[in-house]
């Protein structure tokens, strides 16, 4: 006959796990160690960079934005000259980028729609030519395409 344990005997008391063998405590220790190492590494890199910049008399910060840019930008929606500041040149560059991006998005949507519909065409020649176009331009990296078109037009 077996006895039913009431939970008060010495057999039911959990044994104390040594500190370094407890997985929960060990994982916290490892995480703290990694955080400390990363903190010291970050401090070293920042302190070393600041010391080298100071030794070479290199200024940091955004103060250069108020200096005269001394270069021209070919096309801009807002007025710009070489006597304007770097901040104005940066603004002109952002506006130019947005314009080119918008035009590129519109043109690629139109071209993609036309080529996609042509791919679904019942005409065998149109369907195959659009399939070749899609396969060629899809499988050649964009950087190589940029080099190719640059070499053709310049």
Please tell me whether residues 79 and 31 are part of one structural domain: no
Q: Is residue 2 part of a domain?
A: no
pTM score > 0.85 for this model?
A: no
- Distance, in Å, from the CA atom of 92 to the CA atom of 85, rounded to the nearest integer, reads 11
Q: Is residue 100 part of a domain?
A: yes
Q: Indicate whether 96 pLDDT > 90.
A: yes
Q: What is the pLDDT of residue 147?
A: 95
Task: Give ∠ CA 57-93-66 in degrees, rounded to 5.
Answer: 40
For 2-25, the pLDDT digits (tens) are 555 555 555 667 677 777 778 888
Domain hosting residue 28, numbered range: 10-58
For 56-93, the pLDDT digits (tens) are 998 888 888 999 999 999 888 899 999 999 999 999 99
Q: What is the pLDDT of residue 3?
A: 55
Q: Is residue 46 part of a domain?
A: yes
Q: Is residue 4 part of a domain?
A: no
Please tell me whether residues 72 and 140 are part of one structural domain: yes
Q: What is the pLDDT of residue 127?
A: 96
- Dig out the tokens for 130 from the structure: 């659009």
Domain count, the chain: 2
Q: How many CB atoms lie within 10 A of CB 42?
A: 10
Q: Is residue 43 part of a domain?
A: yes
Please tell me whether residues 40 and 108 are part of one structural domain: no
Q: Is residue 130 part of a domain?
A: yes
Q: Is residue 5 part of a domain?
A: no
Please tell me whether residues 97 and 23 are part of one structural domain: no
Q: Indicate whether 103 pLDDT > 90.
A: yes
């Amino acid at each position: 006959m077996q006895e039913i344990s009431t939970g008060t005997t010495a057999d039911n008391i959990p044994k104390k796990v040594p500190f370094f063998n407890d997985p929960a405590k060990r994982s916290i220790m490892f995480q703290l160690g990694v955080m400390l190492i990363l903190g010291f590494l970050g401090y070293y890199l920042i302190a070393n960079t600041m010391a080298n910049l100071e030794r070479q008399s290199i200024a940091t910060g955004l103060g250069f934005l108020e200096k005269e840019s001394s270069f021209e930008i070919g096309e801009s929606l807002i007025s710009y000259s070489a006597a304007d500041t770097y901040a104005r040149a940066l603004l002109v560059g952002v506006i130019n980028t947005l314009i080119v991006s918008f035009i590129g998005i519109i043109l690629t949507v139109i071209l993609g729609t036309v080529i996609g519909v042509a791919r679904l065409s019942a005409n065998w020649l149109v369907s195959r030519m659009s399939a070749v176009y899609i396969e060629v331009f899809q499988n050649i990296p964009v950087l190589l395409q940029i080099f190719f078109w640059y070499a053709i037009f310049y």
